[in-house]
C-alpha cells in the first residue's frame, strides 16, 4: 500500500466532491446552481448556470475519480481547469495568501494533483490495476497544461457577451392635431 498517496487521494478527492455538490445541489451549505450561477454571472461567466453546472460536474466527477485513483491524469486536468478559472476570475487580483482571498489554496491543489499524476495514484487504486503506466512527468505536465488550456478555451468558446441594454429613445411631446368639428 502507498499510504501517502492514498491519504492524499482520500483528502483531496472528497473535498472536491464536496465543492462540486455545493455548486450543483446546494449540499454542505453551498449555494446550488442558482446561487453559483448568479455569482458566475457577476464574474462575467455567462450564462452563469451553464458555467456553474460545468464547474460543479468537473469537481464532483474529478474528485470521485481522484478518490478512486481512476483516470488520474484526466481527473487532474478537469480539476486543474476549475482551479485555474478560480485563480483567474477571483483570486489573482488578491495576491497569494488565502487569508486575503488569494490563490494559495488553488495553487496547492494543482500541485497535489500534479504529484498524483506524476507518481500515479498508488495502491490501492484502479489505475494501479488497470492502467499501471498511466502516469509520469510528461502526463503530469500535459494534465496541468490541459486544465489551464481548458480554462482559457472555456471562456473564449462558451462565454456569451452580456445582454445588450435596450436603447432608450427620448420621447418628444406630441402636438395634438385639431379635430374637425362635426
pLDDT tens digit sequence for 115-164 = 999 999 999 999 999 999 999 999 999 999 999 999 999 988 888 888 78
pLDDT score, position 176:
67
> Is residue 166 a part of any domain in this protein?
no
Residue range(s) defining the domain that contains residue 39:
3-158
- Residues sharing a CB contact under 8 Å with residue 154, sequence separation 6 or more, in sequence order: 51, 54, 81, 85
pLDDT score, position 105:
96
Distances (CA, A) of 7 to 2, 68, 116, 129: 9, 12, 11, 18
- List the end-to-end C-alpha distance of the chain, in Å, as a whole number: 103
Whether residue 124 is preceded by a cis peptide bond, meaning omega within 30 degrees of 0, is: yes
> Is residue 171 a part of any domain in this protein?
no
Q: What phi-psi label fits residue 177: left (phi over 0), alpha (psi between -120 and 50 degrees) or beta?
A: beta
Angle between helices 32-42 and 3-25 (to 10 degrees): 90
pLDDT score, position 177:
67
Give the integer Cα–Cα distance in Å for 129 and 65: 14
pLDDT score, position 158:
87
> Is residue 135 a part of any domain in this protein?
yes
> Is residue 133 a part of any domain in this protein?
yes
pTM exceeding the 0.95 threshold for the entire prediction: no
> Is residue 165 a part of any domain in this protein?
no
> What's the structural domain count of the chain?
1
Give the integer Cα–Cα distance in Å for 50 and 101: 25
Which residue positions in the chain have pLDDT lower than 70? 172-178, 182
Amino acid at each position: 500500500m502507498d499510504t501517502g498517496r492514498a491519504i492524499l487521494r482520500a483528502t483531496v478527492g472528497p473535498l472536491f466532491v464536496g465543492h462540486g455538490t455545493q455548486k450543483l445541489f446546494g449540499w454542505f451549505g453551498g449555494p446550488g446552481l442558482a446561487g453559483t450561477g448568479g455569482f458566475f454571472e457577476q464574474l462575467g461567466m455567462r450564462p452563469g448556470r451553464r458555467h456553474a453546472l460545468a464547474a460543479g460536474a468537473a469537481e464532483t466527477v474529478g474528485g470521485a475519480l481522484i478518490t478512486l485513483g481512476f483516470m488520474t491524469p484526466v481527473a487532474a486536468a478537469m480539476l486543474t481547469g476549475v482551479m485555474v478559472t478560480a485563480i483567474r476570475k477571483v483570486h489573482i487580483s488578491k495576491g497569494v495568501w488565502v487569508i486575503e482571498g488569494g490563490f494559495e489554496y488553488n495553487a496547492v491543489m494543482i500541485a497535489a494533483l500534479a504529484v498524483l499524476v506524476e507518481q500515479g495514484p498508488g495502491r490501492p487504486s484502479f489505475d494501479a490495476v488497470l492502467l499501471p503506466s498511466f502516469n509520469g512527468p510528461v502526463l503530469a505536465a500535459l494534465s496541468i497544461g490541459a486544465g489551464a488550456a481548458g480554462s482559457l478555451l472555456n471562456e473564449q468558446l462558451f462565454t456569451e457577451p452580456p445582454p445588450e441594454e435596450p436603447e432608450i429613445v427620448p420621447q418628444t411631446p406630441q402636438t395634438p392635431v385639431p379635430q374637425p368639428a362635426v
